[in-house]
Structure 1
Amino acid sequence: IRTVLDAELAVRRVFEAPTVAELAAVLDASAVVRSPLRAVVPRPARLPLSLAQQRLWFLYQFEGPSATYNIPVALRLRGPLDEGALRSALGDVVVRHESLRTLFAEDAEGPYQVVLDSAEVELTVAATDREAIHEELGHAIRTPFDLMNDVPLRAWLFQLGHGEHVLLLVAHHIASDAWSMGPLARNLTAAYATRVTTGDAPGWEPLPVQYADYSVWQREMLGAEDDADSEITRQLAYWKAALADLPEELPLPFDRPRPATSSYEGDRITFEVPSGLHEELTRVARERRASLFMVVQTALSTLLTRLGAGTDIPLGTAIAGRTDDALDDLVGFFVNTLVLRTDTSGDPTFAELLDRVRGKDLEAYAYQDLPFERLVEVVNPERSLSRHPLFQTMLTLNNTEQGGASAVASLPGLSVAGEPVAAGAAKFDLSFRLAERRGEADGGVVLEGALDFSTDLFDRATAQGIAERFVRVLTALAEDPDRRIGDVE
């Protein structure tokens, strides 16, 4: 809407004016449009980190190199693979995305980006077998990056024999995010196809902007905190009020006391929300003018309250952070984290609680530009090496096909399928991840669920029970939105 109509439209307005006629009236009175993102010419001699990168750099310096922020995507390839073309294609992708050939440095003025004119991504080739592949993948994924000397992308090619390979790409979060795995995989497959068929580099159009342009633009758009009229001052004021007196941590049914320092070791439980239940949850959302995410958040807040977490429930959630069209196909760290606070007090019905969630979420979406990393610094909760600041339970719902495996087109002479990988790291006590997928049995949409949990705190059996109870709460909500949450087991 901003690009095509030169108008600014808050997410809240879409929910409040859901018809075309209502939206047209809202657009006529829309706010001033923010400045568009464009390539910075000439570039400043010193390229700042984005605010999100700045926080990760601080953690890197504070904790030392680790695999906690490694992002993997793996593909199983069947058929004759041209290894030379693959190496060249990796180089083509690094040429296309400056973020993948950026190093990080720091001096007396602070950290800054160093964009290399050229860089080679290491492709490690190793022979293995189907029994050992998951152990090999896990070892590769857990290999940390040296951000001052290593480009933030690595690749492994595991040879399984009989024309079968597993390709693993691992990027550091300081240069990418989950959404980035889509354009990364698409660009790699397009480059490989061109290299195999013509032997030449792909002739794609240059990207309109690079990540360094975004870093400069972000700081200009948000303005200075000592300017009372700046956007960052406005957003900081909202979040400081919204998160006042936030609980430091939620008491949950832990199997062990929280250690003084988190190991970040984790495990994963998978579950599924069947198509019939997904359809009923979507119906509830539509009737209450809410999103499916808000319905799921209502159920999770109910579950945590019933597990003994109290009635003030802060949850973290990821938003894409790509608020300009120029960023859609760029590899980089844009994702932001919002803290969504739910008040479950007074034993409300599901419907009443959903209305509370809807109101607070729509408020929060209007202030989504403030990087979570800066929010932590300003709210300044008690610092601890044992828990994540501001929230310890994460909820994400992915209803777009942006994963690396789902973005891969066909490759010449090869069949391609996603290879499941788990980073084995748990940044949170609990992390609920849901993704919509078309079911094979009835063609309906199912929600594939994963619960990542900290093994510092939970046994696998406990996490399994929490996941099963979550599905039961979702079922109870769909069956009777007027049921009180205190009646749910």
Structure 2
Amino acid sequence: MIPVSFAQRRLWFLGRLEGPSATYNIPLVVRLRGALDVAALNAALVDVVDRHESLRTVFPEADGQPYQRILPVEKAAPELVLRESDSERIAADVESVSGHAFDLESEIPVRAWLFDVAPDEWVLVAVVHHIAGDGWSLGPLARDLAAAYTARCAGTAPEWEPLPVQYADYTLWQRELLGDEDDPESTGASQVEFWRAELAGIPEELPLPFDRSRPLVGTHAGDVVELAFDARIHRGVVSLARERGASVFMVMQAAVAALLSRVGAGGDIPIGTPVAGRLDEALDDLVGFFVNTLVLRTDVSGDPSFMELVERVRMTDLRAFGAQDVPFERLVEALNPARSMGRHPLFQVALAFQNAPASDLVMPGLDVVIEPAGTGAAKFDLSFNLSESFTGAGEPAGISGGIEFATDVFDRSTIERMAGWLTRLLEQVLADPERPVSRARILDDAELRQVLGDPGEGNDVGREVPVGVLPVLFEEQVARTPDAVAVVFEDLKLSYGEVNERANRLARLLVEQGAGPERFVAVALPRSAELVIALLAVLKSGAAYVPIDPDYPADRIAYILEDARPMSVVTVESAGVEVPAGTTRILLDDPTTRQALEVQASEDLTDSERLAPLHAGSPAYVIYTSGSTGRPKGVVVEHRSVVRLFGATESWFGFGSQDVWTLFHSYAFDFSVWELWGPLLHGGRLVVVPFEVSRSAGEFLGLLVREGVTVLNQTPSAFYQLMQADRDDPA
């Protein structure tokens, strides 16, 4: 008797435990247009089953153990089942036959149906049970079927090179390779010990954002949501992989792990992945179950940057790939995790990249297209199945595939949102791989509004609150009143148009330096019109500004720069701010900087110029607390929060273009946000109060009168000082 492989043994056991099902079916769907010779196709199918012993193998039992019984083709010749269909029914028909339940003990593990869809249009569905084949196997299966059909159309039997080995040979070789597990020097024993250490303490079950409780016994019912990343994301993934000496698979594994961690799965994320298992080229053209499954344990603890997470994944995967010979089924037996009929052991999330050779089929008189197919089943809670595409020049053209999910625990709408979350996460971590993955925004604007809610009736509940990004809202105001005065500082007055043009030039310079969404730029400037322009420029670049008051103590400035890790610091020489090594310093009073600004375009930036699109959930600024109870802590505030602040209070104040505001407080103090953006978003005038004036109640009062200030924000004690100054000098 020929023993089964370790992988086959597990599928046989599951079949006996759960009964016949379509969970492990692999469908090959081929659309044929033209003059089809049905008899030749039927004969070709028999030829292929004759060529590959695995396709005519059944699995009876002896003494409680399965074995392989290879049938002669005369007893195992499959019949091509003919059926009528049409363009409207064909998808349902394909899904129906793809769900065929094989009786592995008595039925060969391949069935085929041919649907007559329209005149000269057919759909062939060949379904192979996983016990006899894997995803790679569909390539040689399809190629051999096309070659046999070509020969049969010519009236001859196919003349192909004999296969060097059959699956039964591999089964015996596998046992020889692994050796005796009682021998600690054997490959099997040493690799099992590696996995014992590698997977020690692995989560028994991954806490995923289920829509309902897991049933005691899983049905394996599943569905698929399309997943697609454009060429821009694909290029970013490839670039980061090359930079870190990793693979595209590793970068995508890091992204999936980061996403799962963000949705509550914790910091220890085991992900299963298939490996081809064809360790010898003699197996490449063979139909059989060679694929093995590795458990890649991904450490997302400690809030790493995405760059660091990719490095962790790379190191883990390289270790795992070096121990890929021990079959997953043997590993489960050795580790003996807690078993459940409702979930997969050791991991519940899988990631697979389709890298099997493509099959360009040629069949005489026919236009042949292999189509994607599913079985309506899910082996795992979640399975991310991806493949890369490239241009004719070999450049990245996109990554596509789908998320297969168990309908026992997930609704389709949840997985559709998850696809969007993964896309947004990738956009942000690729734009700035050094940022912690916890700061990557995954919710879209509508989802965040749903989470945060809207203010209510006494707080305007039910009233729509504006959502937007600050520079865009400012640019809309510029378009309405380009000549109105926007900023006043001492004797200098700048219109909205002038402020906008200067900010656009500086923003483009910042983008050239690498500024963009999810990145930080520190601004360390004294009070001036240039300060307002610089803050606006940072936001226009897509980055968030980190305000640093040059009058702060040197150790506080050093701490903020070290903690926030801005990519650059916008300042002037006279500010005297020490910039950490590796951080770019942009000196606005340096002649070289002035020349660089003069050559920049003054028009508004577009998302195509930025590293990534701006959205309302992008960070706008970071405000550091006073530090009165310890070290100062940075608080990241999004664009939407500032916009909501003014939108939610609009009915109370009714700000407009007639208002004159003062920037009185330090712009590193959170109240400055109200003072800065209140006038600029409403078309009002912003008066920047010189530092010396802010320290003299009399001079400040004179400025208020002179500028006709209508919006003033002061503490009660400061108001008392102004009242006293007015009494002292009523003129």
Q: Which residue does 1:479 correspond to in 2?
A: 431
Matched, 1:140 2:97: yes
Matched, 1:177 2:148: no
SS where residue 131 of structure 2 aligns? helix
Q: Which residue does 2:150 correspond to in 1?
A: 193
Measured against aligned partners, the alpha-carbon deviations of 1:151-204 in whole angstroms (never above 9, x if no partner) come to 11110000012110000000000000000000000000011011112x111111
Matches within 5 A, 1:68-147: 68-108=23-63, 110-118=65-73, 119-147=76-104
Tell me which of 325, 344, 347 is aligned to 2:300: 344
Tell me which of 229, 245, 262 is aligned to 2:201: 245
Q: Distance in 1 between matches of 2:326 and 2:117?
A: 46
Tell me which of 205, 221, 238 is aligned to 2:177: 221
SS where residue 174 of structure 1 aligns? coil
Mapped contact 2:135–2:356 kept (Cα < 8 A): no
Q: Distance in 1 between matches of 2:61 and 2:184?
A: 30
SS where residue 387 of structure 1 aligns? coil
Matched, 1:420 2:375: no
Same amino acid, percent of matched pairs: 53
Q: Which residue does 2:160 correspond to in 1?
A: 204
Mapped contact 2:32–2:366 kept (Cα < 8 A): yes
Q: Which residue does 1:8 correspond to in 2?
A: none
Q: Which residue does 2:688 correspond to in 1?
A: none
Mapped contact 1:294–1:354 kept (Cα < 8 A): yes
Mapped contact 1:185–1:408 kept (Cα < 8 A): no
Q: Which residue does 1:49 correspond to in 2?
A: 4
SS where residue 433 of structure 2 aligns? coil
Distance apart, 1:410 and its partner CA: 1.6
Q: Distance in 2 between matches of 1:454 and 1:94?
A: 33
SS where residue 420 of structure 2 aligns? helix
Distance apart, 1:471 and its partner CA: 1.2
- What's the TM-score, normalizing by structure 1? 0.88
Q: Distance in 2 between matches of 1:187 and 1:438?
A: 26
The one-letter code sitting in structure 1 at the alignment partner of 2:128 is A
Q: Distance in 1 between matches of 2:197 and 2:287?
A: 34
Matches within 5 A, 1:12-411: 46-108=1-63, 110-118=65-73, 119-197=76-154, 199-398=155-354, 400-402=355-357, 406-411=358-363
Using a 3 Å threshold, how does the CA distance of structure 1 residues 362 and 193 change in structure 2: closer, same or farther?
same
Q: Which residue does 1:6 correspond to in 2?
A: none
Mapped contact 2:136–2:356 kept (Cα < 8 A): no
Measured against aligned partners, the alpha-carbon deviations of 1:82-119 in whole angstroms (never above 9, x if no partner) come to 01100110111111100011111111162110011212
Q: Distance in 2 between matches of 1:195 and 1:446?
A: 39
Tell me which of 372, 381, 402 is aligned to 1:429: 381
SS where residue 482 of structure 1 aligns? coil
SS where residue 113 of structure 2 aligns? strand
The one-letter code sitting in structure 2 at the alignment partner of 1:329 is D
Using a 3 Å threshold, how does the CA distance of structure 1 residues 439 and 256 change in structure 2: closer, same or farther?
farther
- What's the TM-score, normalizing by structure 2? 0.59
**Structure 1 residues without counterparts, runs of 5 or longer:** 1-45
Mapped contact 2:150–2:363 kept (Cα < 8 A): yes
Q: Distance in 2 between matches of 1:272 and 1:456?
A: 24
Distance apart, 1:432 and its partner CA: 0.5
Measured against aligned partners, the alpha-carbon deviations of 1:51-86 in whole angstroms (never above 9, x if no partner) come to 111111111111111110110010110001001100
The one-letter code sitting in structure 1 at the alignment partner of 2:321 is Y
* Superposition misfits of 4+ residues, deviation over 6 angstroms: none
Q: Distance in 2 between matches of 1:169 and 1:451?
A: 23
The one-letter code sitting in structure 2 at the alignment partner of 1:475 is E
SS where residue 175 of structure 1 aligns? coil
Mapped contact 1:396–1:434 kept (Cα < 8 A): yes
Q: Distance in 1 between matches of 2:110 and 2:401?
A: 28
Q: Which residue does 1:43 correspond to in 2?
A: none
Q: Distance in 2 between matches of 1:290 and 1:273?
A: 19
Q: Which residue does 1:465 correspond to in 2?
A: 417
Q: Distance in 2 between matches of 1:389 and 1:293?
A: 23
Q: Distance in 1 between matches of 2:294 and 2:172?
A: 22
Using a 3 Å threshold, how does the CA distance of structure 1 residues 233 and 444 change in structure 2: closer, same or farther?
closer
Q: Which residue does 1:25 correspond to in 2?
A: none
Q: Distance in 1 between matches of 2:208 and 2:61?
A: 40
SS where residue 296 of structure 1 aligns? helix
Measured against aligned partners, the alpha-carbon deviations of 1:250-304 in whole angstroms (never above 9, x if no partner) come to 1111111111111111111102111121011101000000111110011111000
Q: Which residue does 1:15 correspond to in 2?
A: none
Q: How many corresponding residue pairs? A: 439
The one-letter code sitting in structure 1 at the alignment partner of 2:157 is A
Mapped contact 1:401–1:407 kept (Cα < 8 A): no
Mapped contact 1:251–1:309 kept (Cα < 8 A): yes
Q: Which residue does 2:641 correspond to in 1?
A: none
Distance apart, 1:443 and its partner CA: 7.2
My pick for the range that moved more, 179-188 or 444-453, is: 444-453
Q: Distance in 2 between matches of 1:160 and 1:439?
A: 33
The one-letter code sitting in structure 2 at the alignment partner of 1:171 is V
Larger radius of gyration: 2
Q: Distance in 1 between matches of 2:221 and 2:91?
A: 17
SS where residue 179 of structure 1 aligns? helix
Mapped contact 1:349–1:485 kept (Cα < 8 A): yes
Mapped contact 2:48–2:144 kept (Cα < 8 A): yes
Higher RCO structure, 1 or 2 (CA under 8 Å, sep 6+): 1
**Structure 2 residues without counterparts, runs of 5 or longer:** 442-731
Q: Distance in 2 between matches of 1:438 and 1:280?
A: 14
Mapped contact 2:217–2:342 kept (Cα < 8 A): yes
Q: Distance in 2 between matches of 1:152 and 1:401?
A: 21
Matched, 1:447 2:402: no
SS where residue 113 of structure 1 aligns? strand
Measured against aligned partners, the alpha-carbon deviations of 1:18-66 in whole angstroms (never above 9, x if no partner) come to xxxxxxxxxxxxxxxxxxxxxxxxxxxx111011111111111111111
Q: Distance in 1 between matches of 2:255 and 2:281?
A: 33
Q: Distance in 1 between matches of 2:283 and 2:397?
A: 29
Q: Distance in 2 between matches of 1:109 and 1:63?
A: 16
Q: Distance in 2 between matches of 1:334 and 1:170?
A: 17
